[in-house]
Amino acid sequence: MLHHNSDDNRIKEILIVGGGTAGWMAAAAFSHVFKNQQCRIRLIESDHIGTVGVGEATIPVIQKFNQMLGIDENDFIKNTQGTFKLGIQFVNWGSIGNSYIHPFGPYGMNMGYLSFYHYWLRMSANKQSIDPGEYSIAIQAALRGRFMPPANIPNSPLSQISYAYHFDASLYAKYLRNFAETRGVERIEGEIEKVVLRSDDGYIESVKLKDGTPLHAQLFIDCTGFRGLLIEKAMNTGYDDWSHWLPCDTAVAVPTRNVTAPLPYTRATAHSAGWQWKIPLQHRTGNGHVFCSKYMSDEQAKKILLENIEGEPLAEPRFIRFKTGMRRKFWNKNCVAMGLASGFLEPLESTSIHLIQSSISKLIALFPMADFDQTNIDKYNELLTSEFTFVRDFIILHYKVSQRTDSEFWNYCRHMQVPETLQKKIDLYQSSGRLFRDNNELFDEVSWFAVMQGQGLQAQHYHPLADQITEAEFDKIMREIKAVINRAANAIPTQEEYIAKHCSAINR
């Protein structure tokens, strides 16, 4: 028999520990969902400890998060020094001198039963060096420094524009803090010294601040970053270490003054033992060199970073250490870890903030009663494990299919044995030019194609149905698609013009 939820068995107290991007995203979302004061939500953060201070590039699904909260896009961009992102440009990944963009949104248009990439493969079987980027509105707009949101023009490439944001992470957290506090979230400033577990079942009973104040709750959200203060230090949940597949373990970051108008895409430039990001914001550019300490010293990494930035540095370079992998359980008893406390896959495809968003939406979908049904917990862990694993495979792909032979690091990456799930995808593409989006994974065929083709992985065959169009007709269609995309890209305003008109930053 189906029972009514009893009020006694409802979660009435949530304590979010940590006020970085993860903590404030969770606080904003819960404050929005738990309307009418059903649940008391508190967040503890320590100004003394601070936040990781990076994490400024996103992927398009973040729009859904902001929309769910009812956040106005222009207001959000104005308050976070934001810019728009149409994809990621990968420089020197396939080989030194090679460059391609992994775009958001599709290539060309789908014809009949097939995605466009099958037709591109047919075309490239006949001719040499055809850049698929010529068939992508996102890539053509990005290369011209242009941006606009999708237009409601049926059958136009302008209706296919898909985008994400770059923003100042500390301003995003501040923006969400204001959102959450306005909706009743109580912020506590303080440093947690001790986590008290219940002796009978190991559930978290309370956390104790340095001044001795105990804070009780039923559900604890661990957003303490790499520390994993609750999920790991107190509960010993365990961590799956993926550094044999994703060997970069350090980043050195430095912001610089803008010397040109911000580009509407992230740049990821490969170096001899890692890669460097460039994230253009309205008021500055974020730069960082992610590298593997086994193959490069801190000094070398810093030197390479400083030699490859454009504007004047605005701060001293700062080092951040990490271990790629994921927590063995994201939800353990009455503790759910989010953000860096739940795992880290390195920032190559800007997926961490998305994984926070995904953790929040899945926790809302599986939100427990106070007796913590284990089947709910198991489902949550299963879903997030699958999400992390798919993203992991996609990031490993970039390292594995590089053709670089110029350093020990790249030789290691080319020869490493990758997870079977990834190897199967590579084999399938190589042998028959087919790609599949497994179990609704985050990255679709367009993304897999962009990286595989961009880095020179050759498919040996293409789909037979792509031959159904006659040669003459096929050439004409392909030429037309290219021309339409070219014209559409020229009709888009520059990002600078778009921002000046709609969302120039406050305090620029």
Which residues make up the interface to ligand FAD (CB under 6 A)?
A: 18-23, 44-46, 49-52, 54-58, 169, 191-192, 223-225, 227, 229, 251, 288, 320, 322, 339-341, 347, 350, 352-353, 356
Strands 87-91 and 266-271: parallel
3-state secondary structure of 27: helix
Active-site residues: which are they? Answer: 85
User: Which tokens is 461 given?
Assistant: 């065959």
| Smallest separation (angstroms) from ligand FAD to the CB of 337 | 9
Say what the alpha-carbon torsion angle 134, 136, 139, 144 is, to the nearest 10 degrees: 70
Q: Which residues contact 363 (CB under 8 A, 6 or more apart)?
A: 331, 336, 380
User: Cα separation of 430 and 460, whole Å?
Assistant: 6
If the CB atoms of residues 59 and 484 are measured against ligand FAD, the closer one turns out to be 59
If the CB atoms of residues 54 and 137 are measured against ligand FAD, the closer one turns out to be 54
| Smallest separation (angstroms) from ligand FAD to the CB of 332 | 17
Amino acid found at 287: N
User: Cα separation of 93 and 98, whole Å?
Assistant: 7
If the CB atoms of residues 140 and 351 are measured against ligand FAD, the closer one turns out to be 351
Location of structure tokens 């420089």: 91
| Smallest separation (angstroms) from ligand FAD to the CB of 42 | 12
Name the strand (E) or helix (H) holding 332.
Answer: strand 331-332
| Smallest separation (angstroms) from ligand FAD to the CB of 346 | 7
If the CB atoms of residues 46 and 136 are measured against ligand FAD, the closer one turns out to be 46
**Residues of 425-458 as b/e, b for ≥16 C-beta within 10 angstroms?**
bbeebeeebbbeeeeebbbebbbbbbbbbbbebe
| Smallest separation (angstroms) from ligand FAD to the CB of 295 | 17
If the CB atoms of residues 49 and 143 are measured against ligand FAD, the closer one turns out to be 49
Are the beta carbons of 23 and 177 closer than 8 angstroms? no
